[in-house]
């Protein structure tokens, strides 16, 4: 089966062609992520309407590029009236996306694929709609079924695959099985969730953040320190410097909700504590103090994440631990969870360095596991979609 994955939930325009054979072996035919970071950097965060415009501008040329790079066989489009269909859609919904589609090779040649998997939530609703509308328009021109994917399920499954390399393009690789039941901690810019997994597709959220997501807290702290967006990587780089140089601590931060009996989190108070700390510390803050503050913030976040996950491991006794989402790019958090999994004697499934952030490979993979072909007229974007 060949799956086209489409991901537009935030500020990455991502497309992937994934092949899975009947022995459950996979090959990444092509995988493209176009980041909008440089555009949003000037605003200090993602502007949904700007992100939407960028997705609409790039999806069609990126898909043409992906098809070329992956060398996927093509055929004449199934719908002989494809151009008329897209022209009709364009008259109804004026958009760059449809205009680009109409003037592209995609209305005459289609890749030979079995399904289209598209993220329909959670995320920014205006940007999600661009991907969803693209999938619908392709369905109408190519007559290929569409399956919708929950972005967070993509992050859960992301550790199962490796990105494409020049060698891997020539061979299939076994898709590993998740030792079940599993526990997953999802840490991204919009989510902090502990998820109990009975089977692929069967998830229950056992704890989540009551306010800010952990990635959001990293980004907000970075902004207070005058660091560019997205702040997570910047804060973690400074924290790493403080660890390496053994810089003295400048402030003690709280570990919010670490002792609460549930599996919930709260990070907005921690962010406020950083704000108060900055008022006490000299301004402008010397770089060494800034690095030490970043390390203390990273330690506070890590302590809470590890402690809550430990509590969930104790109670649910899963056979594996999966961590997904952009924040698991953080080396200190990665290493802390490696230690925790060792302590419990269970395998830890972490995404490859290139797949921690948003990508369409994880969406195509989740689309492979989705057994139900979704009715096209029911498909819509849902910003607050839950697992």
Angstrom distance (rounded) from CA 176 to CA 163: 14
From candidates 325, 337, 361, 370, binder to ligand KG4 by CB under 6 A: 325
Q: Interface with ligand KG4 includes 326 (CB under 6 A)?
A: yes
How far apart, in whole angstroms, are the C-alpha atoms of residue 119 and residue 151?
6
CA–CA gap between residue 121 and residue 7 (Å, rounded): 10
Given Zn ion, ligand KG4, none, residue 190, with its beta carbon under 5 to 8 Å by kind, binds ligand KG4
Nearer to ligand KG4, 141 or 234 (CB): 234
Structure tokens at 170: 């020539």
Query: 373: how many CB neighbours lie within 10 A of its CB?
Result: 10
231 lies in the site for ligand KG4, by CB under 6 A: yes
Query: Is 236 near ligand KG4 (CB under 6 A)?
Result: yes
Q: Judged by CB under 6 A, does residue 218 bind ligand KG4?
A: yes
Which among 27-35, 186-194, 269-277, 310-318 is the span making contact with ligand KG4, rule CB under 6 A?
186-194
Any contact of residue 184 with ligand KG4 (CB under 6 A)?
no
Binding range to ligand KG4, per CB under 6 A, among 26-34, 45-53, 77-85, 322-330 = 322-330
Cα dihedral value 124, 125, 130, 135, nearest 10: 110
User: By CB under 5 A, is residue 320 in contact with Zn ion?
Assistant: no
Closest CA to 62 of 25, 28, 92, 104: 104
CB of 219 to ligand KG4, least distance (A): 5
Identified binder of Zn ion from the candidate list 31, 127, 188, 289, rule CB under 5 A: 188
Nearer to Zn ion, 293 or 360 (CB): 360
Per CB under 6 A, the segment of 38-46, 166-174, 211-219, 307-315 that binds ligand KG4 is 211-219
Residue 329 and residue 136 in contact, taking contact as beta carbons nearer than 8 Å:
no
Nearer to ligand KG4, 250 or 329 (CB): 329
By beta-carbon proximity to ligand KG4, the closer residue of 131 and 232 is 232
Angle (CA) 185-187-315 rounded to 5° is 20
Query: DSSP readout, 321-355?
Result: EEEESGGGG-HHHHHHHHHHHHHHT--EE---GGG
CB 5 within 8 A of CB 198: no
DSSP-assigned beta bridge partners for residue 64 = none
CA max distance for the chain: 70
Minimum gap (Å) between residue 147 Cβ and ligand KG4: 20
Instruction: Note whether 127 binds Zn ion by CB under 5 A.
Output: no
**How deeply is 164 buried, as exposed, middle or buried, from its count of CB atoms within 10 A (0-12, 13-18, 19+)?**
buried
Q: Is 154 in the site for ligand KG4 (CB under 6 A)?
A: no
Lookup result for tokens 């108070």:
269
Binding to ligand KG4 by CB under 6 A, coded x per residue (else -) over 327-366, reads x-xx--------------------------xx--------
Task: Name the segment binding ligand KG4 (CB under 6 A); options: 41-49, 97-105, 192-200, 323-331.
Answer: 323-331
Which residues is 99 bridged to in the sheet? none
Cβ-based nearer residue to ligand KG4, 4 or 33 = 33
- Distance in Å, CB of 186 to ligand KG4, minimum: 9
Using CB under 5 A as the binding rule, whether residue 100 contacts Zn ion is answered as no
Contact present, 161 and 175 (Cβ < 8 Å): yes
Reduced to 3 states (helix: H, G, I; strand: E, B; else coil), residue 95 is coil
Write the binding mask 330 to 359 for Zn ion: x where contact by CB under 5 A, - elsewhere. ----------------------------x-
Cβ atoms of 26 and 20 within 8 Å: the answer is yes
Q: Does 230 bind ligand KG4 (CB under 6 A)?
A: yes
The tokens for 100 are 């680009």
Q: Nearest approach, Cβ of 17 to ligand KG4 (angstroms)?
A: 21
Q: Give helix 214-224 / helix 231-244 axis angle, nearest 10°.
A: 80
Helical (H) or strand (E) element with 303: helix 287-316
Q: Which residues bind ligand KG4 (CB under 6 A)?
A: 10, 188-190, 215-216, 218-219, 230-233, 236, 325-327, 329-330, 357-358
Q: Which residues bind Zn ion (CB under 5 A)?
A: 188, 358
């Amino acid at each position: 089966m060949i799956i086209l994955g489409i991901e537009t939930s935030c500020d990455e325009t991502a497309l992937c062609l994934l092949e899975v054979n009947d022995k459950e072996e996979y090959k990444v035919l092509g995988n493209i992520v176009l980041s909008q970071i440089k555009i949003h950097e000037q605003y200090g965060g993602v502007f949904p309407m700007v992100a939407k415009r960028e997705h609409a501008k790039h999806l069609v040329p990126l898909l043409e590029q992906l098809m070329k790079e992956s060398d996927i066989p093509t055929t004449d489009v199934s719908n002989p009236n494809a151009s008329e269909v897209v022209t009709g859609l364009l008259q109804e919904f004026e958009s760059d996306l449809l205009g680009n589609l109409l003037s592209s090779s995609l209305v005459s040649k289609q890749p030979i694929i079995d399904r289209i998997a598209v993220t329909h939530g959670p995320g920014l609703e205006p940007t999600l709609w661009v991907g969803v509308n693209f999938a619908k328009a392709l369905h109408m021109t190519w007559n290929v079924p569409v399956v919708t994917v929950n972005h967070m399920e993509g992050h859960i499954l992301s550790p199962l695959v490796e990105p494409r390399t020049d060698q891997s393009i020539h061979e299939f690789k076994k898709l590993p099985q998740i030792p079940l039941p599993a526990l997953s901690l999802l840490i991204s810019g919009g989510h902090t969730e502990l998820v109990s997994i009975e089977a692929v597709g069967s998830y229950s959220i056992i704890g989540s953040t009551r306010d800010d997501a952990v990635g959001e807290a990293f980004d907000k702290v970075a902004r207070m320190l005058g660091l560019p967006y997205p702040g997570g990587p910047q804060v973690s780089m400074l924290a790493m410097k403080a660890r390496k140089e053994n810089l003295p601590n400048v402030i003690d931060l709280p570990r919010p909700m670490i002792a609460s009996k549930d599996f919930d989190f709260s990070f907005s108070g921690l962010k406020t504590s950083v704000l108060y700390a900055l008022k006490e510390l000299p301004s402008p803050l010397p770089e060494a103090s800034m690095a030490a503050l970043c390390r203390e913030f990273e330690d506070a976040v890590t302590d809470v994440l590890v402690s809550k996950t430990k509590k969930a491991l104790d109670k649910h006794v899963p056979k594996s631990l999966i961590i997904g989402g952009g924040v698991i790019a953080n080396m200190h958090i990665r290493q802390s969870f490696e230690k925790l999994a060792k302590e419990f004697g269970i395998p830890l499934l972490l995404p490859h360095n290139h797949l921690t952030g948003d990508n369409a490979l994880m969406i195509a993979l989740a689309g492979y596991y989705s057994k139900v072909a979704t009715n096209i007229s029911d498909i819509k974007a849902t910003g607050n979609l839950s697992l």
